[in-house]
Amino acid sequence: MPGGDPRIYTSGESRFEDMLADIDAAQHRIFFESYICKGDDTGLAFREALVRAHDRGVEVFVAFDEFANLVVPRAFFRVLQSILEGLK
């Protein structure tokens, strides 16, 4: 968030677009936490953005609620586990 300016969102779509842009702009480290991350198009977009960040040398830490994500295929998270540090 440049300059720490607060943002107010009225829809998830615009918030997700900004979050993905912030992930793509990160240069040093990312701390990403989400209660639920579905294996849908949005979830895949976040996973791919985090992978890209990792591949360009950004330190990436990810935390998901395990119980809330029981319905998400484990393969979705295995991709992250194989490349990211700090997956909880």
Mean pLDDT of all residues in 12-22: 90
pLDDT at 19 over 50: yes
CB burial of residue 49 (10 Å; 0-12, 13-18, 19+): buried
Give the pLDDT band (50/70/90) at residue 87: very low
Token match 């791919």: residue? 48
pLDDT in tens, 28-72: 999 988 877 777 888 889 989 999 999 999 999 887 777 666 777
Question: Could you tell me the residue ranges of all domains in the chain?
Answer: 27-88
pLDDT at 88 over 80: no
- CA-based radius of gyration for the chain: 13
The answer, as to whether pTM is greater than 0.85, is: no
Q: What's the pLDDT score for residue 10?
A: 85
Length of the chain: 88
